[in-house]
Amino acid sequence: MMNPVLETIRQRKSVRAYEDKPLPEDVRDMILKSAMRAPTAGNMMLYSIIEVSDQEAKDKLVETCDNQPFIAKAPLVLIFLADYQRWVDYFKVSGVEQLCIEKGVPMVKPEEGDLFLACCDALIAAQTAVIAAESMGVGSCYIGDILENYEIHREMFDLPQYAVPICMVCFGYPSVKQKERERTKRFGEEFIVYKNQYRRLGEEEFKEMYAGTHKRMMAGSADKRDQPSVGIRMYKRKFSAEYAVEMRRSVRAILDAWIA
Ligand SMILES: Cc1cc2nc3c(=O)[nH]c(=O)nc-3n(C[C@H](O)[C@H](O)[C@H](O)COP(=O)(O)O)c2cc1C
- Work out the angle between the directed axes of helices 112-135 and 25-35 (0-180°, nearest 10): 140
Ligand 1 site-directed mutation target among 79, 119, 142, most atoms within 8 Å of CB: 142
* Ligand 1 atom having least distance to the Cα of 13: 26
pLDDT tens for residues 4-23?
Answer: 999 999 999 999 999 999 99
pLDDT tens for residues 146-197?
Answer: 999 999 999 999 999 999 999 999 999 999 999 999 999 999 999 999 999 9
What does pLDDT average to over the chain? 93
pLDDT tens for residues 76-91?
Answer: 999 999 999 999 999 9
Q: Is the pLDDT of residue 246 over 60?
A: yes
Q: What is the mean pLDDT of residues 54-70?
A: 98
**What is the identity of the amino acid at 244?**
A
Phi/psi for 157 (5° steps) reads -110, 10
Would you list the domain boundaries of the chain? 4-183, 185-218
pLDDT tens for residues 97-141?
Answer: 999 999 999 999 999 999 999 999 999 999 999 999 999 999 999
Residues facing residue 14 across a β-bridge: 140
Ligand 1 site-directed mutation target among 8, 12, 14, most atoms within 8 Å of CB: 14
Evaluate whether the domain defined by 4-183 bears CATH number 3.60.15.10.
Answer: no
Query: Which pLDDT score, from 0 to 100, does residue 229 have?
Result: 79
Cα angle 236, 238, 244 (rounded to 5 degrees) comes to: 110
Return d(Cα 176, Cα 166) in angstroms, integer: 30
Q: What spacing in Å lies between the alpha carbon of 185 and ligand 1's midpoint?
A: 13
pLDDT tens for residues 189-201?
Answer: 999 999 999 999 9
**What is the identity of the amino acid at 96?**
V
